[in-house]
Amino acid sequence: MTTERLTPAPPPGELIDSPRFPVAARRELGNAQQRRNLHHATRTIRDKRAQAVGEMDNWQELRAAGGAIKSRVLRHLPEYLEQLEASLTRNGATVHWAGDAAEANRIVIDLVQQTGSTEVVKVKSMATQEIELNEALEESGIAAWETDLAELIVQLGHDRPSHILVPAIHRNRSEVRDIFLAEMGNYGTPPPPGLDDDPVNLADAARGHLREKFLRARVAVSGANFAIADTGSLVVVESEGNGRMCLTLPETLISVVGIEKVLPSFEDLEVFMQLLPRSSTAERMNPYTSIWSGASEGDGPQNVHVVLIDNGRTKALADPQGRTALRCIRCSACLNICPVFEKVGGHAYGSVYPGPIGAILNPQIRGTDSAVDRSLPFASTLCGACTEVCPVMIPIADLLVHMRSKVVDAKKAENTGVHLPHAEPAMMKAGAWVMADHRRLEAAQLATKTSGKVLGHFTDHIGALPWPLSKWANARDTANPPTQTFRDWWKANRAQEEQK
């Protein structure tokens, strides 16, 4: 690769070839700066979300409604997709269908080439990240400019996104300044000289850099948060106004939308516009939401296209238990609450969908052939915090276990010759036997207390262990067994109170 490129090159290699999660996690954990950035950012957003959600008396009702609406759509997808296509067409939009990423990219490239434009401005969109549209456009001689601030930081930094909502969450302000100073001038309006690392000034530099691109743009590419079947409307939820610029100023607008994004009715927005902002940016409402229904006479793009993509979603849909993952509205609450994500960040997941929901969606959508996709369902402690925060009530922890068994089944189907027993079910069975009777439990606890006391003389944790325990211990340090059991503690501290 030489400097022939139109836009900054992403890092070399394909995401699907990423190493297994434990290997990638070890690599990412070595980046102390990133760990500090992630710790600060996830803590901040977690607290804010708890506050924004705490204001709502009917939060659980809203979640139940959101989950039910999405389930209704998924279970009756054909009729809602037909209705969506008919409504969009009536509103003057052209609807295209794409079975996979290559088909979707081909459609978008053809549409851009028909306009004669050699560049597009882009609204932040997970669907276009997923199909790697930017690189496909680049190969066809079309420059794709990311306009969301975090996506701009990622693109100019020759980097990959590490979070659904805040793709540059792994970068701090001084890293952002360095990227802007080094790269902005190569691709358009340079930053003001002497740029410091105050986020206000960094945002101002982004405004200056992108303004000329917005004003001259003839084609925009977006995704959509929701596609409304009865009115034929698309919805984009955003903060900065870059979305509004892209959706309003160009003559041509191409929106790439997953088939699971449909909502039956305009009224359903009252549920999702309460759930999404509080779950994602932890605000009562995001600064800007744009809703448009095809081409509106005298206002905005008149050449309007919607590309509906499958790209593996029907594989997830075919699993009656697994299909609830397709309810996901990409809010990121499960990433922000996850103790694993907080430590390793998004790059370890080898996909544009990181965190707990990514650990389910990637093997569902991409299949379980790659090393990284096989490892992802195990990238969790199953603490269940993600299930608690999910605004559409996806049982994330249950689905992680479900996908683990799918991975094991897939491996079993391949290894018909050598048969290694899978350790987890055997250990769970043994655990159930011990816990079923209090005498067995007390005997087992006496053994762990003793080992805890003995180990305590030598070390404060357990590191590497021989097979089969190495399967667990290679990626995790384990605390020494406690020297006092909960039952002992209860007897010593609470037994008397109980008698009162």
Partner 1 sequence: MSAKSEIMQRIRTALEDVPDIPAVDDVPVPWEFGRAVDLSAAGEILDVFVERVEDYHATVVRCPAADLPVAIADGLRATGATSAVVPEGLNPDWLSAADGVRFTVETMPHLSPHELNRIDAVVTASAVGVAETGTIVLDHSADQGRRALTLVPDRHIVVIGADQVVSGVPEAVALLRPAVEAGRPLTWISGPSATSDIELSRVEGVHGPRHLYVILVQERP
Binding positions for partner 1, 128-167, rule CB under 8 A: 147-150, 153, 166
Q: Which is nearer to partner 1, 138 or 175 (CB)?
A: 175
Q: Which is nearer to partner 1, 91 or 474 (CB)?
A: 91
Q: Which is nearer to partner 1, 216 or 411 (CB)?
A: 216
Task: Report d(CA 334, CA 390) in Å as an integer.
Answer: 6
Collapsing DSSP states into helix, strand and coil, what is residue 226? strand
DSSP 188: S
DSSP codes of every residue in 247-296? HHSSSEEEEEEEGGGEES-GGGHHHHHHHHHHHHT-SSS-SEEEEE-SPB
Cis bond before residue 301 (omega within 30° of 0): no
Identify the H or E element spanning 189.
Answer: none
Span near partner 1 by CB under 8 A; candidates 132-140, 307-315, 387-395, 474-482: 307-315
- What is the footprint of partner 1 within residues 408-427 (CB under 8 A)? none
370 burial level (CB within 10 Å; 0-12, 13-18, 19+): buried
Q: Which is nearer to partner 1, 300 or 354 (CB)?
A: 300
Q: Is 259 in the site for partner 1 (CB under 8 A)?
A: yes
Of these, 23, 181, 249, 469, which contacts partner 1 (CB under 8 A)? 249
Q: Which is nearer to partner 1, 23 or 68 (CB)?
A: 68
Of these, 297, 460, 497, 498, which contacts partner 1 (CB under 8 A)? 297
Q: Which is nearer to partner 1, 234 or 372 (CB)?
A: 234
CA distances, 182 to each of 78, 116, 211, 462 (Å) = 49, 31, 19, 45
Q: Is 103 in the site for partner 1 (CB under 8 A)?
A: yes
Span near partner 1 by CB under 8 A; candidates 21-29, 181-189, 269-277, 359-367: 269-277
Q: Is 251 in the site for partner 1 (CB under 8 A)?
A: no
Q: How many residues in the shown chain lie near partner 1 by CB under 8 A?
A: 97
Collapsing DSSP states into helix, strand and coil, what is residue 332? coil
Task: Report d(CA 476, CA 472) in Å as an integer.
Answer: 7
Interface characters, 39-78, with partner 1 (x: CB under 8 A): -xx--xx---------------xx-xx--xx-xx--xxxx
- What is the footprint of partner 1 within residues 323-382 (CB under 8 A)? 323
Nearest to 374 by CA among 344, 414, 412, 403: 403
Q: Is 386 in the site for partner 1 (CB under 8 A)?
A: no
Nearest distance in Å: CB 244, partner 1: 5
Contact (CB, 8 A) for 118 and 327 = no
Q: Is 210 in the site for partner 1 (CB under 8 A)?
A: yes
Residue with tokens 């549920």: 271
Task: Report d(CA 402, CA 397) in Å as an integer.
Answer: 9
Nearest distance in Å: CB 315, partner 1: 8
Q: Is 392 in the site for partner 1 (CB under 8 A)?
A: no
DSSP 168: T
Q: Is 6 in the site for partner 1 (CB under 8 A)?
A: no
Contact (CB, 8 A) for 224 and 260 = no
Q: Which is nearer to partner 1, 99 or 463 (CB)?
A: 99
